[in-house]
């Protein structure tokens, strides 16, 4: 049993030692991240369950996109290098080109693809889980005013009967209060 | 144009990086630390404050990953894998090397031409001396550091595959690197960053103590 495991391990190590592709490590990291990051997010007790679920799916999707992109870009770059390089340099050049492909994927393609693809995907397949953004409370006068019953205003009638005191004449003064001397 | 690209692709500096999982992962993490915050900053659908906060958080996360990787994976997993391989496999598969450093030096010598190898083996190591078989004290040479069987391998001509590179040992070290990278970057780094990022963001003035939960929600929803 132990000998079997050692032989298998030896074969794995030999293959890895003879042909270790740059895509192996990044794909392994992305695969484990795709499992662990959402799990850690879901374990967070302080967070709102809806937000947790949404974030976990987003994180899982990011890594799910990353794995095939790493593989595809690495292989494509290696094939392109093999096509254009002379035969004696093909093996060395292909491995280096594969690494450059992986770097391009990490620097441009994956972040770009995630920005472009994840939001629409989440919008299409995950209506309920999208946490609502906090609404900014504003005094909404126009919509609220429809429900308020405002009593009909009485028409303002311009009155001509208003008795205004004439300040020029003495008799127009109000005749109450103390009078000192005179009339 | 194609010649220039070809020169870069077959250059030794790029080959040195691709032959080592450590340098690959470190370079890739550095690129992520530049690329991901960059893409967040050019997103027009997010508010300016959220963009700055999310970009700083992503940058700090990748920087934490880089530190964790350099501090944990390289010394622990790489050396651990080398020692484990020495205990598990037979000498015929893994050669007779005293340390990981010596094996790395051996691999570098294997990648050079036969003439270069012989020249390098005959060079003196400065500041060191050894007593030879006749009892005389002399300067230590590069070849004195190697076991007799390893020297025989290094002196082999380049035809017929050249010296044995001991792929089992190389693979064991790479496997240790991959396991360490996965553990370090996917399991350990998120835990460390969780404890480190929020105080760092507060120091940078991007997060107030009372705003923590609000900012957290904001970041996650964007």
Give the pLDDT confidence of B53-85 residue by residue, as tens digits: 888 988 998 899 899 888 887 789 989 999 999
Among B192, B28, B18, B15, smallest CA distance to A29 is for B28
| SS3 label, residue B125 | strand
- Chain A (70-109) residues lying within 8 Å, Cβ to Cβ, of chain B: 81, 84-85, 89, 92-93, 95-100, 102-103, 106-108
Rounded Cα distance between B131 and A131, Å, is: 75
pLDDT category of residue B187 using cuts at 50, 70 and 90: confident
* pLDDT at A54 (0 to 100): 83
Above 60 in pLDDT, residue B211?
no
ipTM of model = 0.77
B139 has which bridge partners? B129
Cβ–Cβ of A10/B89 closer than 8 Å? Answer: yes
Most B CBs within 10 A among A4, A20, A30, A40, hence the mutation to make, goes to A20
Q: Which residues of B touch A108 (CB under 8 A)?
A: 35
**What residue ranges do the domains of chain B occupy?**
1-92+168-222, 96-165
* pLDDT at A133 (0 to 100): 55
Return per-residue pLDDT of chain A as tens, 183 residues: 778 888 999 999 999 888 888 899 899 999 999 999 889 888 878 778 888 888 888 889 989 999 999 999 999 999 998 888 888 788 888 888 999 999 999 888 998 888 888 878 887 766 554 555 555 566 666 666 666 666 666 666 666 666 666 666 555 555 555 656 554
Burial A48-85 (b: 16+ CB within 10 A, else e): eeebbbbbbbbbbbbbebbbebbbebbeebbebbeeeb
Pick from A17, A92, A114: CB nearest B170: A17
In angstroms, the separation between the Cα of residue A130 and the nearest Cα of chain B is 8
Contact B206, B52 (CB under 8 A): yes
Q: Which residues of A touch B25 (CB under 8 A)?
A: 25-26, 29
In angstroms, the separation between the Cα of residue A140 and the nearest Cα of chain B is 23
């Amino acid at each position: 049993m132990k000998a079997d495991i050692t032989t298998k391990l030896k074969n794995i190590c030999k293959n890895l030692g003879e042909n270790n592709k740059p895509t192996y490590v990044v794909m392994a990291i992305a695969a484990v991240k795709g499992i662990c990051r959402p799990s850690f997010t879901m374990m967070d007790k302080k967070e709102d369950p809806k937000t947790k679920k949404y974030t976990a799916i987003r994180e899982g999707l990011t890594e799910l996109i990353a794995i095939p992109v790493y593989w595809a870009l690495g292989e494509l770059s290696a094939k392109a290098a093999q096509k254009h390089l002379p035969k004696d340099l093909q093996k060395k050049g292909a491995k280096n080109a594969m690494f450059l492909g992986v770097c391009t994927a990490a620097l441009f393609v994956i972040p770009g693809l995630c920005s472009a693809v994840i939001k629409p995907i989440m919008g299409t397949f995950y209506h309920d889980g999208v946490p609502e953004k906090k609404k900014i409370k504003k005094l909404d006068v126009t919509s609220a005013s429809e429900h308020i019953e405002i009593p009909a205003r009485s028409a303002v009638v311009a009155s001509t009967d208003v008795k205004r005191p004439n300040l020029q004449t003495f008799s127009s003064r109000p005749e109450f209060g103390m009078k000192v001397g005179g009339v | 144009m194609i010649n220039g690209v070809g020169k870069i692709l077959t250059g030794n500096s790029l080959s040195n990086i691709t032959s080592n999982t450590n340098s690959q992962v470190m370079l890739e993490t550095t690129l992520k630390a530049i690329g991901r915050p960059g893409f967040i900053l050019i997103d027009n659908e997010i508010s300016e404050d959220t963009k700055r906060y999310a970009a700083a958080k992503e940058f700090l996360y990748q920087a934490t990953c880089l530190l964790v990787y350099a501090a944990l994976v390289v010394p622990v997993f790489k050396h651990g894998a080398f020692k484990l391989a020495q205990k598990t496999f037979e000498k015929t598969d893994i050669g007779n090397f005293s340390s990981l450093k010596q094996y790395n030096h051996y691999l570098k010598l294997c990648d050079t031409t036969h003439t270069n190898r012989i020249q390098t083996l005959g060079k003196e190591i400065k500041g060191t001396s050894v007593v030879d078989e006749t009892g005389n004290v002399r300067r230590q040479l590069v070849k004195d550091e190697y076991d007799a069987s390893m020297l025989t391998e290094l002196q082999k001509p380049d035809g017929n595959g050249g010296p044995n590179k001991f792929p089992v040992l190389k693979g064991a070290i790479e496997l240790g690197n991959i396991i360490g990278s996965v553990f370090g970057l996917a399991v350990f780094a998120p835990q460390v960053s969780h404890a480190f990022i929020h105080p760092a963001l507060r120091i940078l003035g991007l997060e107030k103590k009372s705003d923590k939960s609000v900012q957290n929600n904001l970041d996650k929803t964007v």
